[in-house]
Amino acid sequence: IPAASTIVLAWFKLTPDPLGFGIMIMAGTWMMLNFISARAWQQVSNMAELFAIDPEQAEARIAIVLKSKPLARQVRLLTWHRLATLRHQQKDFDQTIAVCQSVLIYPLRNVHAVRQHLLLMLTEAQLARGDAYGAYMSLSELSHQQLSLTHSLQKLALQTRYLLMVGYDEAALSDLPGKVKMAELMPTLQCGALHVLFYVAASRSGQTPQADWLNERSRLLLSEKQYDDILQSLSMPTVTPGELL
């Protein structure tokens, strides 16, 4: 638009209005920025299936978008969120933590749509790396968010895992009937995994009847391999509660 306007003014030897010409340049720049950003966002907005089918192609597409200039900040940050999701699915927890923390330092308005998901991925990656303090800080920030039901269920599982990591087994079992009801809203695998967490907490707390009941339920929900894998993932050394203070 600015280029076409300049040609027309020069062709007809017209004197441009500085204010109108300035507004025209600003409008043209805004349209160009939005066009590039819209095209970039179309390439990365729906990538869930591509992550599972061809992660290398997904990563290549993300790299192309991040090289696009000029690119609106919000689109760039949302693209980084896609990269964090890909790294998390690849179980590259160090890069997941790095990308999530890099995006979360920006103002809330720029990442509001994905902030909760970023915090959940960050917490899970920190737990996988044994970073109890980092997981505590992420869970604390999640506690101040108004979470959807899905995110609330994910937070419950991560919070329970954190409490087991730091040795607060009895805290993990507080309001157990209510937590079991919430677990029943989850898909079978996640529901069974949470029952295993409660079972471990009850066993270590000496609450044998509850532990037996939770163990029986978890075995009904999970295959033998799934059950063993979840128990093995909890075999990391726990932190003594006083060590965090």
pLDDT tens digits for range 23-59: 656 666 656 666 665 666 666 666 666 666 666 777 7
Give the amino acid at 78: L
| DSSP single-letter state for residue 168 | -
Q: Which residues lie closer than 8 Å to 52 by C-beta, 6 or more apart?
A: 89
Give the torsion through C-alpha atoms of 102, 105, 109, 114, to 10 deg.
Answer: 40
Q: What is the pLDDT of residue 242?
A: 37
- Label residue 222 exposed, middle or buried (CB < 10 Å: 0-12, 13-18, 19+): buried
In the predicted model, residues of the chain with pLDDT beneath 70 are 1-55, 65-66, 68, 70-72, 108, 110, 235-245
Question: Rounded distance, CA 137 to CA 143, Å?
Answer: 10
Question: Rounded distance, CA 126 to CA 151, Å?
Answer: 17
Question: Rounded distance, CA 113 to CA 145, Å?
Answer: 12
Q: What is the pLDDT of residue 16?
A: 55
Tell me, rounded to whole angstroms, the distance of Cα 105 from its chain centroid: 14
Question: Rounded distance, CA 82 to CA 114, Å?
Answer: 10
Tokens at residue 80, please? 């980084």
CB 219 within 8 A of CB 227: yes
Q: What is the pLDDT of residue 240?
A: 36
Question: Rounded distance, CA 176 to CA 178, Å?
Answer: 5
Number of H helices and E strands in the chain, helices first, is 15, 0
The label of the residue with tokens 């995006």 reads 103
Q: What is the pLDDT of residue 5?
A: 64
- Buried b or exposed e, range 70-104, using 16+ CB within 10 angstroms: ebbebbbbbbbbbbbbbbbeeeebeebbebbbebb
Q: What is the pLDDT of residue 90?
A: 87
Q: What is the pLDDT of residue 139?
A: 95
Q: What is the pLDDT of residue 199?
A: 94
